[in-house]
Amino acid sequence: MKISNFLFPESRSPDDDGRIIDETYQEALLTDRLGYDAIWLAEHHFDGICAYVDPVTMAAALAVTTTNARIGFAVAQMALHHPIRMAEQMALIDHLSKGRLIVGLGRGTAYNIYDYQGFGIDHNEAQGRFEEAEAIMLQAWKGEKFEHHGKYFDLKLPALRPAPYTKPYPFVIRAAATEHGMLDVARQGRPFMMNVQTNAETARRMDVYRGALREQGLTDAAVEYLVSECWVWRNVFVAETDAEAERIAVPAFQAMQDMRAAMRLQVYREQGVSILPMPAANTAPPARTVVEHSLVYGSPATVAEKLAALHRTGVGGLIMQFRLGPMSYEDTAHSLTLFREQVAPELL
């Protein structure tokens, strides 16, 4: 099972932005030195829940200062990007990283309407823009003259330069937050990234994904290859003891969830708008916000035991967020190191 670090650092004040960005960069370098398989970057705007905001710029910086880890997006919000500009940027970063780039794409946030408002994009157009933009990028990477006349983009270009380092183009993977989205990806014979779900739901979806691939006529070997290229997300914290891990990780995780909801609630109170209906008071919270399902914490032995259920699904990799909310860099670095040295050997 591949292991990775998801850099998703919150900054609680504009005054903290520079420090958090610097610490995140150091966390990325440490991740690379420790021998993790990948470093993942997020994209969120205007609220501080992802301090560096722009994964493309951060990926370019890491491409020239790391040497081993793959660099991926989890995910680039494609409704907010022009596909030709994005195709150029990805080709350049593919060269700078010598083929270590993972182009992780998604439609955009399903929660924060202000991400779209700030870019003047109707959130109802997000999926359509994503689908059209991805198709344009794949065509552009062929390096041939082409025209595109679609619903959102009207383009005419002689050829894209530079051509990608990786042939025919960088590794592309989609996020699929819902089972419906996952099945769409499976019908295309492609791998996917799964957001936080319960272990039972994760295992069930992987079985459904395998079944959908087989329905396309893929061989068992092809199915297992695609499964090996899929990733699932968990929040992880490792300490010397279970008690120490709980003391640090649980409050940080809960504070992180509160901050991620704060701007959404503020905009709803001020404007009365929300992408998803605001949940009723008695509604069960989603798995991604619940400690039991979303946070894996404890001593190295405990964390290894908890992750064994994911290992048994056969999924190819873990997208693990180690820095949780207001957690310090020092605690994060210690957890990241403990995981690599004492937990990872049990999963590889």
Torsions phi, psi for 283 (to 5 deg) = -75, 135
**pLDDT band (50, 70, 90) for residue 279:** confident
User: Pairing state of beta strands 146-149 and 154-157?
Assistant: antiparallel
The alpha carbon of 216 is separated from its chain's Cα centroid by a whole number of angstroms, namely: 27
The stretch 280-302 carries a mean pLDDT of: 91
Q: Which of 170, 172, 174 is nearest to 184 (CA)?
A: 174
Given this model, what pLDDT does residue 348 score? Answer: 78
Q: Supply the range of the domain harboring residue 15.
A: 2-347
Task: Decide: helix, strand or coil at residue 192.
Answer: strand
Is the pLDDT at 92 greater than 90? The verdict is: yes
Here the CATH number for the domain that contains residue 234 is 3.20.20.30
With the C-alpha atoms ordered 317, 67, 73, 251, is the resulting torsion angle positive or negative?
A: positive
Q: Average pLDDT, stretch 23-35?
A: 98
Residues 124-173 have pLDDT tens digits of 999 999 999 999 999 999 999 999 999 999 999 999 999 999 999 999 99
DSSP for 149-169, written as a single string: E-SS-EEEES--SSPPSSSSS
Q: What is the average pLDDT value for the chain, to the nearest integer?
A: 97
Q: What is the pLDDT of residues 252-268, one digit of tens each?
A: 999 999 999 999 999 99
pLDDT at 287 over 90: no
Q: Is the pLDDT of residue 280 over 80?
A: no
Q: What is the mean pLDDT of residues 116-125?
A: 98
pLDDT of residue 281: 76
Number of domains in the chain: 1
As given in the structure block, the two tokens for residue 220 are 């068992």
284 pLDDT higher than 90: no
**Which among 96, 53, 99 has a CA at the least distance from the CA of 76?**
53
